[in-house]
Chains A and B, each alone.
Chain A
Amino acid sequence: MYIIIVGGGRVGYYLTKTLLDEGHEVLIVEKEANICEAINNEMGSICIQGDGCEAATLVAVGTERADMLVAVTGEDPDNLVACQVAKHKFSVPRTVARIRNPGNEVLFKKLGIDVTVSGTKVILELIEEDVPTHPLTHLLAIEDSGEEIVEIKIPPKADAIGKSPRQIEIPKGSRLVLVIRGGSKNRIPTINTIFREGDRIIAITTPESEEELRATLTGV
């Protein structure tokens, strides 16, 4: 694959190294001349000095034949614009943006960025997985629909205990798909399901309604 990396900082550098090892064709676009020079001295001529948001630069690096553009500068606006220009002006099939503020994820998705990666969020998710008492864990993002699969554990004294799915307010855009209960068979929730303490609910939700769903199932 031909992959363009915008931003030659630490993330861009190690990403490039790994992708080259895997046999991909990689090119870095970096604003700072000295960073470019250091990369080129080490890895051969693979870094072009320029602004990855500027159409002229992107023409020079042959963006129209790129399979993927990955924007990993330290600035969310720059990563957003680089991806949008690549997508809309050069029809790059896949764009990936690094985001610093996890709050920007919904916006980037809405604006058509295919994949967003947030270091902050990754660390938060690792903490969630490590701490089993955390009530909500992200299991999988469904890229095509923008939905995600989450696991929510029903804590002691939650309002939902003793109720059926019809008796609680499941937010629009969320669906409960599985109830995992220790000591019995996993089941698909029906109108007759009664929630119990410690149930692990697997649900499909959207980033927008995730918080509401969590509140419904774990609120006391």
Chain B
Amino acid sequence: MKVVIMGCGRVGARLARALDADGHAVTIVDNDAYSFRRLAFSPELPEFKGKALMGNGIDQEVLRRAGIEEADAFFALTQGDNRNIMACQIAKRIFEVARVICRIYDPLRQELYNTLGLEAISPTTIITQILKEKLEN
């Protein structure tokens, strides 16, 4: 599959490397070139063979250069909830990407956008749940 990832933080970089290792064609976009250092090493994964592109992921021109028009999936994983939400809506409504997944830290915003048809995941909710279960078991 062709995958575009916005945001090369810990999660973005790790996902990019894991999908790349599985044989997917990955392009990762970040507006800070320094963040691409995270793609460089990771003892348990092979070398990243995908593409790293510097640019703002909420700019439609940058997304086009990242190959979003042919992409099968798009992930928005920057630190900014609103940036992720906007990028995902661009991917879905302008470029009609089949699978669009959005990280939203704020659980209320995640709920709202889920009802608006965005596949949104809130790490806040998930981790809270896990921690709570740890204590209860």
Contact = CB atoms under 8 A, between A and B. Distances in A.
* Same assembly: yes
Given A76-B86, A107-B89, A81 B116 contact: no
A56 B108 contact: yes
B83 to A, nearest CB: 5
A33 interface: no
A80 interface: yes
B85 interface: yes
Interface string B45-85: 00000000000001111000000000000000000111101
Interface of B is mostly: helix
B86 A53 contact: no
Contacts of A19: none
A28 B116 CA distance: 27
Interface residues of A, number: 20
Contact of A110 (B60, B86, B93, B109): B93
Interface size class of B (residues with CB under 8 A): 20 to 34
Interface string B91-110: 00110000000000010110
Contact of A81 (B59, B61, B85): B85
Interface stretch (A84-92, A133-141, A180-188): A84-92
Contacts, number: 54
Nearest to B59: A101
B94 A107 contact: yes
Contacts of A111: 89, 93
B85 A107 contact: no
A78 B83 CA distance: 8
Interface in B22-41: none
A88 B116 contact: yes
A50 to B, nearest CB: 13
A78 B89 contact: no
A106 B90 CA distance: 10
Nearest 7 CB-CB pairs, A to B?
A77-B82, A77-B86, A81-B82, A55-B108, A77-B83, A78-B82, A110-B93
